Amino acid sequence: MFDDAIVGAGIVGLAHAYELAKRGRRVVVLERSPRAVGASIRNFGMLWPIGRPAGESRELALESLAIWRDVLQSTGIWFEKSGSLHAARSDDEARVLKEFAEQANQDSFACEWLDPASVVARSPRVRLEGLIGGLFSPNEICVDPRRVVAELPLKLARDFEVAFVFGAEVVEVDPPRVRTANGDEYRAKNVIICSGSDIGRTFPNAFAEIGLVPCKLQMMRTAPIAEPLGPMLAAGLTLKHYPGFAACPSLAHLIQRFEREFPRHVELGIHVLVSQTPEGELTIGDSHEYGPAIEPFDKTEIDDLILSYLNLFFDSSDLKIASRWHGVYLKHPSADYAIARPAEGVILVNGVGGAGMTLSFGIAARTANEILGIKAAHTHAHTIANAEFPASRHAEHAENANAEFPASRHAEHADKSATEPVFQRNDP
């Protein structure tokens, strides 16, 4: 018997495993693939609080960032306190960035406006010609998402005895029983489902009323370059994308110009970010196609538009594209993320959109607090109670089955000498 079963070994699932295990709980993580291959490894690795609006959303991002620092420092997984730099090449872009800086500093979110020479000193590949200036924030952290998702399970298994089972597709959740497609059964007092874009075969209607929106994004990675990038980079179109800039009075005027001058970029949800891996590769992207527009075939037009916009503010003349890919995530229409509780002892976490890396550990800490009854949690999520939708064909017995296992404070029952495998792969 485990205290908690986590479905999904992407970053949201791993964050929940960490937050629960560090509280002394016995945790198993069930991942349907031989390794996690979803949105958690198909991103920039940007821990990006600057993208969140002031208030509860930014507070959640900063809470998450603090936990990220502890995790990265204690595990030795690579990260860089690079900060972020938004380059401005027009007066209207500069105006929005200065408005943001004024608001952010009043809110104790440190950032500063830089003149062109200072921008290039921090990031030598930014084009000086035509540059108005830039906004530097020291708050953002760069990780390599592929390393995190590969290495963190090993650290959790070693340091907290979290059990991992890969190649285990969960098909039935009826607490305390969790059954996989190959017939294996696990028992846990709580089940937290963090399945990303694959809502899966359990509770498929849990978020139906919310209308979570699928989003496809295209990205690229270059061959290594010799010099360090400096801060993670963004430019004008990014100001339209992130809700952190929505309160800037001049943003509406800037968006009108983008719609005139970059209509195809706007239509395809393109803005351009750049981060760097420890090997020197640059990760470049991305686009945002929503709902019915999503198809499995990538568009060369999108990659060309991303690279052409990049070249406006960044010297990309010698870059060689080494790989291209797309990812898909689910996004809540308005909230930071969504929580559903379709049955006693079951929590679904989804709809985090493109902020999964940034918010994951903050969300997980709130889930753990809720399970342990410490304090109210998920104040900035769209939360669905059990009665709002039919849970699934497996939930009707959940209340009785779960009654003998109260949902909180079970760490004292964890059997550290149990014989379950700490790390298991059910490879096909």
pLDDT digits (tens, 9 = 90+) for 59-80: 999 999 999 999 999 999 999 9
Cβ(113)–Cβ(135) below 8 Å: yes
Report whether pLDDT(286) > 90.
yes
Q: Tens digits of per-residue pLDDT, 338-379?
A: 999 999 999 999 999 999 999 999 999 999 999 998 865 666
Give the Cα separation of 221 and 45 in Å (integer).
12
CA dist 118 and 99 (Å) reads: 19
Q: Identify the sign of the CA torsion 349, 353, 357, 361.
A: negative
Q: Is the pLDDT of residue 387 over 60?
A: no
187 membership: H or E segment, kind and range: strand 185-193
pLDDT given at position 5:
98
Question: Burial level of 393, CB count in 10 A (0-12/13-18/19+)?
Answer: exposed
**What pLDDT band is residue 215 in, cutting at 50, 70 and 90?**
very high
Q: Is pLDDT at 49 greater than 90 in this prediction?
A: yes
Q: In this predicted model, what pLDDT tens digit does every residue of 216-246 receive, in sequence order?
A: 999 999 999 999 999 999 999 999 999 999 9
DSSP code at position 281: P
Percent of the chain with pLDDT over 70: 88
What are the boundaries of each domain within the chain?
A: 2-40+146-204+335-405, 84-138+213-331
What's the confidence (pLDDT) of residue 391?
A: 32
2-40+146-204+335-405: CATH topology: FAD/NAD(P)-binding domain (3.50.50)
What CATH number was assigned to the domain covering residues 84-138+213-331?
3.30.9.10
Quick one: pLDDT band at residue 209, thresholds 50, 70, 90? Answer: confident
Segment 312-320 mean pLDDT: 97
Q: pTM here? A: 0.89
State mean pLDDT over 111-131. 98
Cα 417 to Cα 299: distance, rounded to the nearest angstrom: 52
Element (H, E) at 95: helix 91-106
